[in-house]
C-alpha cells in the first residue's frame, strides 16, 4: 500500500452495492481495488467468531435473536443478503477465518471487536491459523481494556482504540 495517497478502506466490505459484512462484500471490495476492508465481529454461543455488525440478526436477516445466544450452525441458516436485493439472496454470515481468507497479498483487513475479553482466546487461534501476515490485520475496538489485552496477547498485530474524545 502506497503512502503517497489516502488509503481506500471498504467499510463493512463493499457495502454500498453488496450486503455488509459478507464474503460477497469483501470480494467486491477487492475487485474494486480497495486497499483494505473493515469488518465487525461477534462471538457465537459455541465460541466461533462471526462477521456481523450488530449483536443481533434482526436488521440484516429479519430474524430476531442475539448472536451470542445462537450457534454458528443456527446463524448459517439465516439469509443476510436478501435485504440488499434478490441478487444477494442466500448470503450467509461468514466466520472471521473465512473473511481473513479473502484478503489478497498487499491488502489489509481491519477487524472491529464488538465484544468483551471473552473473544480473545478464539481470536488468537483464528489469527494464528490464518495465512495472513500480522501487518495485514489491524484490530480495532471501542473497549480500551480489550485492545490493551489483545496487544499483550498478539503483540505483532496493530491494535487501535476507537474512542470519542
Tens-binned pLDDT, residue by residue, of the chain (165 aa): 556 899 999 999 999 999 999 999 999 999 999 999 999 999 999 999 999 999 999 999 999 999 999 999 999 999 999 999 999 999 999 999 999 999 999 999 999 999 999 999 999 999 999 999 999 999 999 999 999 999 999 999 999 999 988
Q: What is the pLDDT of residue 151?
A: 97
Is residue 16 part of the annotated active site? The answer reads: no
Rounded to two decimals, what is the model's pTM? 0.95
Is residue 53 part of the annotated active site? The answer reads: yes
Q: What is the pLDDT of residue 165?
A: 83
User: Distances from the Cα of 107 to the Cαs of 17, 36, 111, 141, 158, in angstroms?
Assistant: 20, 5, 13, 20, 14
Distance CA 124, CA 93 (A): 20
Catalytic-role residue among 11, 16, 42, 62: 11
Q: What is the pLDDT of residue 132?
A: 98
**Assigned superfamily of 9-161:** Phosphatidylinositol (PI) phosphodiesterase (3.20.20.190)
Amino acid at each position: 500500500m502506497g503512502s503517497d495517497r489516502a488509503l481506500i478502506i471498504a467499510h463493512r466490505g463493499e457495502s454500498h452495492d453488496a450486503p455488509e459484512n459478507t464474503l460477497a462484500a469483501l470480494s467486491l471490495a477487492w475487485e474494486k481495488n480497495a486497499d483494505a476492508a473493515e469488518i465487525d465481529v461477534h462471538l457465537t454461543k459455541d465460541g466461533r467468531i462471526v462477521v456481523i455488525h450488530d449483536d443481533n440478526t434482526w436488521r440484516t436477516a429479519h430474524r430476531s435473536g442475539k448472536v451470542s445466544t445462537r450457534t454458528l450452525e443456527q446463524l448459517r441458516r439465516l439469509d443476510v443478503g436478501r435485504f440488499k436485493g434478490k441478487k444477494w439472496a442466500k448470503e450467509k454470515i461468514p466466520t472471521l477465518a473465512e473473511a481473513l481468507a479473502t484478503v489478497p497479498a498487499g491488502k489489509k483487513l481491519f477487524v472491529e471487536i464488538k465484544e468483551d475479553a471473552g473473544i480473545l482466546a478464539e481470536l488468537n487461534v483464528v489469527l494464528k491459523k490464518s495465512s495472513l501476515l500480522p501487518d495485514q490485520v489491524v484490530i480495532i475496538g471501542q473497549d480500551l481494556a480489550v485492545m490493551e489485552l489483545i496487544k499483550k496477547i498478539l503483540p505483532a498485530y496493530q491494535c487501535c482504540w476507537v474512542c470519542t474524545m
